[in-house]
């Protein structure tokens, strides 16, 4: 472990496309569309999407689902040779799990100005008092990720207003 090459910027669009495919599965069970994939040596070893509503689980974020699958597949908690791709900036819980898993690289498509813990609300990966500092980059397929989220919330607001009056 620890020797597999990490993805380069040129790999980001391809891996993020898979994370976006995961995200698109979440609205089918009324969950906010966020998806994630864990990549080791160019291969996907874990993938998941937000399942908070369908599982009734506050920790069932896309990143946690993907990290758990990667750990199960690889048979270890230390994922120091895996990159994590996620369609939205990780929250504090997920950023914490990423640090604990020793993930060396995180790529996220869109920033989350309200809850992001990488660069928006706090900068957890750059906290000098932690002993592990994942590298990160932002922006792969950003427009697709933001459109997916905007459409989900627009649909939900339309549903909340109820059906349009007949005639």
Q: Are 32 and 8 in contact (CB under 8 A)?
A: no
Is residue 49 involved in binding Zn ion (CB under 5 A)? no
Q: Which stretch binds Zn ion (CB under 5 A): 61-69, 99-107, 120-128, 158-166?
A: 61-69
118 in contact with Zn ion (CB under 5 A): no
Minimum distance from CB of 61 to Zn ion (Å)? 3
Nearer to Zn ion, 4 or 121 (CB): 121
Task: Name which of 27 and 48 has its Cβ closer to Zn ion.
Answer: 48
Q: Residue 122's CB: how many other CB atoms inside 10 A?
A: 14
Question: Is 160 exposed, middle or buried, given 0-12, 13-18 or 19+ CB atoms closer than 10 A?
Answer: exposed
Query: Which positions ≥6 away from 103 have C-beta within 8 Å?
Result: 38, 67, 79, 80, 82, 83, 84, 134
User: Residue 6 and residue 80: Cα distance in Å, rounded?
Assistant: 10
**Catalytic residues, which ones?**
63
- x-marked contacts with Zn ion along 72-101 as a string, rule CB under 5 A: -------------------x--x-------
Residues that bind Zn ion (CB under 5 A): 61, 91, 94
């Amino acid at each position: 472990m620890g020797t597999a090459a990490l993805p380069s910027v040129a790999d980001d669009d391809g891996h993020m496309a898979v994370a976006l495919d995961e995200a698109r599965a979440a609205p089918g069970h009324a969950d906010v569309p966020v998806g994630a994939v864990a990549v080791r040596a160019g291969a996907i070893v874990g993938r998941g999407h937000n399942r908070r509503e369908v599982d009734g689980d506050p920790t069932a974020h896309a990143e946690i689902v993907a990290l758990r699958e990667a750990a199960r597949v690889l048979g270890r908690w230390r994922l120091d040779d895996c990159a994590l791709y996620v369609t939205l900036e990780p929250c504090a819980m997920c950023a914490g799990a990423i640090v604990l898993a020793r993930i060396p690289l995180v790529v996220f498509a869109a920033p989350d100005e309200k809850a992001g813990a990488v660069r928006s609300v706090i900068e957890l990966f750059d906290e000098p008092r932690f002993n592990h500092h994942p590298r990160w980059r932002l922006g792969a397929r950003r427009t697709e990720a933001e459109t997916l989220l905007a459409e989900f919330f627009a649909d939900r607001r339309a549903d909340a207003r109820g059906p349009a009056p007949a005639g």
